A and B are shown apart, each in its own frame.
Chain A
């Protein structure tokens, strides 16, 4: 149904690391293929692993006691997700799950922590990825409070699109509903409306973006605020450039 193109086989953060640093991590990285809906960690399912997406998307969700869920962040090829704040000793409030299936590199948090102890580049990588999760959580806290469901839907689509690099986005209506904290019926009606205006085409869990500028214009300001400038991969690459400059 959907083939993975060869260009999507790297993680932006890992590519931005100098080769000697990457070779420290390499023996500990295991490639795994994960399907949509796989739970990577949760309040009742602690995990000490860290994931670098090579494709696909991980969503970071807060689930309430009554069952309502709202996403407080999303991680694609621009960063890593998992037990970042407390490497190897993970006790999280959030739940991490695979929003869009793909290929991921997994490493034990303790191994990354061990490697980072002797390496400044890895310390920076961990700090930038922590910043990114914090920045998203701050922006989305405000976004979820004051922006309308349709603008948030568009924002989420634009973010997905920029992270999976133009591939069609494969998601179910239920999973979008869980991300945005709204009912499945609401998601369908919003998607129908966007389809009517020519922004997207939506068929059985497969969204194709037909008019990106129009979709961007329909989204809230948050997708412009949380843009590529703040991606850990961009910041690492910039830092590398600055270090090289005389």
Chain B
């Protein structure tokens, strides 16, 4: 049976399920993801509405992504338009937090590059205060 991985994105962290779950098909993975998302959001729907659960295949390639807002039964008393508006806001919050984490990752890389450059400069035989002459 193929292995699927479930990754929770709560807006701040990206939390992987490192063990994964063996499921017969992508459809079974979707219904498992549905059930897991419902269990995670139950009795705290308003706090988890912008969360997402990504399903990846064995090669860690994304198969699908569920938005908790789409599954949120506590929104069912709203009109379809209002529900859609809330889902849109949640989707945009998701996109924003993805962008923020991309920016964070880039900053991390830049920091790493700078510190590596500093290290090289320190270890180099040509110290910055020893300007080669001649």
User: Which residues of chain B come closer than 8 Å to A193, judged between CB atoms?
Assistant: 8, 10, 13, 15
Collect the chain B residues with CB atoms within 8 Å of residue A188's CB: 17-19
A184 interface contact, C-beta 8 A: yes
Q: Which chain A residues border B16 with CB–CB below 8 Å?
A: 192
Please give me the residue from chain A that is nearest to B15 by CB atom. A192
- Size bin of chain A's contact surface: 10 to 19
Within 8 A of B (CB), among A182-239: 182-186, 188-190, 192-193, 196
- The answer to whether B21 touches A149, judged by C-beta atoms less than 8 angstroms apart, is no
Number of interface residues of B (CB under 8 A): 19
Q: Say yes or no for B44: interface residue by CB 8 A criterion.
A: yes
Q: Is A26 an interface residue (CB 8 A)?
A: no
**Total inter-chain residue pairs, C-beta < 8 Å:** 49
- Give min CB distance, B6 to chain A, whole Å: 5
Tell me if B6 and A148 are in contact (CB < 8 A): no
Q: Chain A at the B interface: mostly helix, strand, loop or mixed?
A: helix
Is A1's beta carbon under 8 Å from chain B?
no
In the assembled complex, the CB of A86 is this many whole angstroms from the nearest CB of chain B, namely: 35
Contact at A146–B6, with CB atoms within 8 Å? Answer: no
Q: Mark A167-190, 1 if CB is under 8 A from B, else 0.
A: 000000100000000111110111
Residues of A76-132 at the interface with B, using a CB-CB cut-off of 8 Å, are none
In Å, the complex CA distance between A188 and B36 comes to 11
Is B35 interfacial (CB-CB < 8 Å)? yes
B21 touches A148 (CB 8 A): no
